[in-house]
């Protein structure tokens, strides 16, 4: 029988690769009537209809979990279930209220079994030269460069400075990552002697239950974002909320890099590369711009977004159905600050209008945007907070991935282009 019509065909070898079986098994499928082969004039060997092979592949995919497939990564880092977020079994909202970012990094990297908890100040005591080199590396960047642009340069420099970066033992990876996070923050923060935001003093702001560490990473990062005074523990809590979120795009990128045995700096670079995307790390920036318009005219701003048909920034989520727990906690914290009143009034007006049309829960990007407006943060602050916080999560996933077989993420591409055996006449 000749291969005719518009149907496309695969060779025996291509069918075997497509189905993940041996060529002998393809012949067995033919003998049992599972597959039907045809012959092509002037060509040796059997051909198989693509549509039939696709149907068989779909049945096989339903019957067995794919080996090494991204959608079936086994992880013990983060659970998202029934609109709740857990880090190694701990509700993230409780961690953000009671723990420091360093404590959560310990939990994510070591399941909380580290003998000596991480101390960012101690880590930085021996990295003064790295901070100086990192600052020198980002100095030539133009004023228009975002904080995440600077973070990418810093990580590349830190990797080049570490001759033992390919030592993937857990202890070495954790120390390199802890140092990297600290240097990232120190290098983008104002230099000593400049005019950073004044730390909050007793009586400035209501002191809430939760982490309020003067030497925490949140306190060190704050002056890079705004010159306004620091509310005790606020940014520390936000870093915890953003530290991980399961297999988001940047985390998958980090795990794929770790699967190839990339060193921790390259893993972080892979994550940062995915963050620099419209639908991932930059989402808080879109919410920030939308909220700026909504603070002047909520209904008008919402009307414009709905008319454009591009969606409403800061609302809805691919994972959460009715509420984003991270947004809920951050909004609750922000309501204790007078500075956030105008932004939250706009948020409340938007929530009321969108709730009439169905489930449009506000997400953490909108909560970050409200914090940014409340404290006059730079427009890219949310993206920078996301990147710094998520670095801890990427390393947690990398440590898991280093224990898996190397190079396990090798999906089989299904070729849909022209065939090399076509004659010149057919190509005309």
Tens of pLDDT along 283-324? 899 999 999 999 999 999 999 998 888 789 999 888 888 899
The crossing angle, in degrees rounded to 10, of helices 147-161 and 170-188 is 140
Q: Is residue 363 part of a domain?
A: no
- Residue that has been written with the tokens 């909202």 in this structure: 93
Q: Is 137 helix (H, G, I), strand (E, B) or coil?
A: helix
pLDDT at position 358, please?
A: 67
Adjacent-strand bridge partners of 80 = 85
Check if the beta carbon of residue 426 is closer than 8 Å to that of residue 295.
Answer: no
Q: Is residue 331 part of a domain?
A: no
Q: How far apart are the first and last CA of the chain?
A: 26
pLDDT at position 33, please?
A: 80
Q: Is residue 306 part of a domain?
A: no
Check if the beta carbon of residue 184 is closer than 8 Å to that of residue 213.
Answer: no
| Rounded-to-integer distance, Cα 364 and Cα 90, Å | 19
CATH number for the domain that contains residue 388: 1.10.580.10
Same domain, 195 and 155: yes
Same domain, 191 and 240: yes
pLDDT at position 207, please?
A: 34
Q: Write down the mean pLDDT value for the chain.
A: 85
Q: Which domain holds residue 263?
A: 89-281+374-401
Same domain, 173 and 39: no
Same domain, 59 and 102: no
Phi, psi of 9 (to 5 degrees): -130, 155
Same domain, 109 and 202: yes
Same domain, 148 and 249: yes
pLDDT at position 263, please?
A: 98
Q: Is residue 334 part of a domain?
A: no
Same domain, 50 and 121: no
Report the domain count for the chain.
2
Cα 69 from chain centre: 18
pLDDT at position 109, please?
A: 93
pLDDT at position 123, please?
A: 66
| Rounded-to-integer distance, Cα 367 and Cα 373, Å | 10
Same domain, 40 and 189: no
Neighbouring CB atoms inside 10 A of 393's CB total 26
Tokens of 124: 């930085």
Tokens of 261: 């045995």
Q: Is residue 159 part of a domain?
A: yes
What average pLDDT does this structure show over 3-19? Answer: 76
Give the chain's length.
428
Which residues does 53 contact at the CB level (< 8 Å), separation at least 6?
Answer: 10, 15, 18, 19, 35
Check if the beta carbon of residue 313 is closer than 8 Å to that of residue 287.
Answer: yes
Distances (CA, A) of 324 to 327, 330, 365, 412: 5, 10, 10, 35
Same domain, 128 and 208: yes
Q: Is residue 135 part of a domain?
A: yes
pLDDT at position 140, please?
A: 97
Neighbouring CB atoms inside 10 A of 42's CB total 8
Tokens of 395: 């390393």
DSSP per residue, 23-67:
HHHHHHHHHTTSS--EE-TT--SEEEEHHHHHHHHHHHHHHSPPT
90-91 β-sheet, strand order: 78-81, 84-87, 90-91
Check if the beta carbon of residue 322 is closer than 8 Å to that of residue 349.
Answer: no
Q: Using 50, 70 and 90 to split pLDDT, how confident is the model at 413?
A: confident
Which residues does 180 contact at the CB level (< 8 Å), separation at least 6?
Answer: 155, 158, 264, 265, 268, 391
Tokens of 382: 């949310």
Which of 182, 199, 38 is CA-nearest to residue 121?
Answer: 182
pLDDT at position 285, please?
A: 93
Distances (CA, A) of 262 to 20, 40, 174, 223, 398: 27, 46, 14, 32, 9
Across the chain, which distance is largest between two alpha carbons, in Å?
A: 88
pLDDT at position 118, please?
A: 59
Q: Is residue 56 part of a domain?
A: yes
Check if the beta carbon of residue 339 is closer than 8 Å to that of residue 374.
Answer: yes
Same domain, 61 and 154: no
Same domain, 115 and 257: yes
Check if the beta carbon of residue 394 is closer than 8 Å to that of residue 258.
Answer: no
Tens of pLDDT along 238-247? 999 999 999 9
Q: Is residue 320 part of a domain?
A: no
How would you classify the pairing of strands 46-49 and 9-11?
antiparallel
What average pLDDT does this structure show over 142-151? Answer: 96
Residue 119 predicted with pLDDT over 70: no
Tens of pLDDT along 363-397? 999 999 999 999 999 999 999 999 999 999 999 99
Name the percent of the chain in helix, strand, coil, to the closest 5.
55, 5, 40
Same domain, 415 and 386: no
Check if the beta carbon of residue 390 is closer than 8 Å to that of residue 244.
Answer: yes
Higher pLDDT pick, 216 / 333: 333
Tens of pLDDT along 25-84? 888 788 778 888 887 766 667 888 888 888 888 776 544 444 445 657 889 999 999 899
């Amino acid at each position: 029988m000749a291969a005719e019509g518009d149907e496309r065909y695969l060779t025996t070898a291509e069918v075997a690769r497509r189905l993940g079986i041996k060529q002998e098994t393809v012949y067995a499928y033919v003998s049992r009537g599972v597959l039907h082969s045809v012959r092509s004039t002037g060509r040796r060997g059997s051909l198989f209809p693509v549509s039939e092979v696709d149907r068989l592949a779909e049945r096989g995919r339903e019957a067995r979990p794919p080996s090494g497939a991204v959608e079936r990564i086994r992880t013990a880092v983060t659970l998202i279930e029934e609109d709740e977020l857990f880090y190694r079994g701990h509700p993230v909202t409780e961690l953000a209220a009671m723990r420091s970012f360093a404590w959560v990094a310990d939990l994510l990297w070591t399941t909380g079994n580290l003998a000596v908890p991480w101390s960012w100040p101690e880590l930085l005591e021996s990295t003064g030269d790295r901070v100086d080199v990192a600052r020198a590396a980002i100095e030539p960047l133009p004023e228009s460069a975002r904080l995440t642009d600077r973070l990418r340069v810093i990580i590349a420099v830190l990797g080049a400075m570490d001759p033992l970066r390919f030592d993937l033992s857990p202890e070495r990876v954790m120390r390199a990552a802890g140092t990297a996070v600290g240097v990232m923050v120190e290098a983008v923060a104002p230099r000593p002697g400049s005019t950073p935001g004044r730390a909050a003093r007793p009586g400035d702001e209501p002191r809430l239950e939760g982490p309020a560490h003067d030497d925490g990473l949140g306190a060190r990062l704050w002056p890079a974002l705004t010159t306004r005074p620091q509310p005790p523990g606020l940014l520390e809590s936000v870093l915890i909320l953003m530290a991980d979120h399961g297999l988001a795009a940047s985390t998958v990128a980090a795990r794929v890099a770790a699967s190839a045995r990339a060193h921790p700096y390259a893993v972080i670079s892979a994550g940062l590369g995915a963050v620099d995307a419209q639908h991932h790390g930059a989402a808080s920036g879109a919410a920030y711009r939308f909220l700026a318009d909504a603070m002047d005219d909520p209904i008008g701003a919402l009307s414009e977004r709905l008319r454009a048909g591009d969606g409403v920034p800061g609302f809805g989520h691919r994972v959460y159905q009715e509420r984003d727990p991270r947004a809920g906690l951050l909004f609750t914290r922000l309501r204790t600050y007078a500075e956030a009143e105008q932004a939250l009034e706009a948020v409340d007006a938007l929530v009321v209008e969108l709730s009439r049309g169905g489930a449009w829960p506000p997400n953490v990007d909108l909560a970050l945007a409200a914090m940014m407006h409340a404290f006059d943060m730079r427009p890219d602050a949310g993206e920078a907070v996301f990147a710094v916080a998520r670095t801890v999560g990427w390393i947690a996933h990398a440590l898991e991935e280093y224990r898996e077989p190397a190079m396990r993420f090798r999906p089989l591409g299904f070729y849909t282009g022209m065939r090399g055996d076509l004659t010149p006449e057919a190509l005309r």
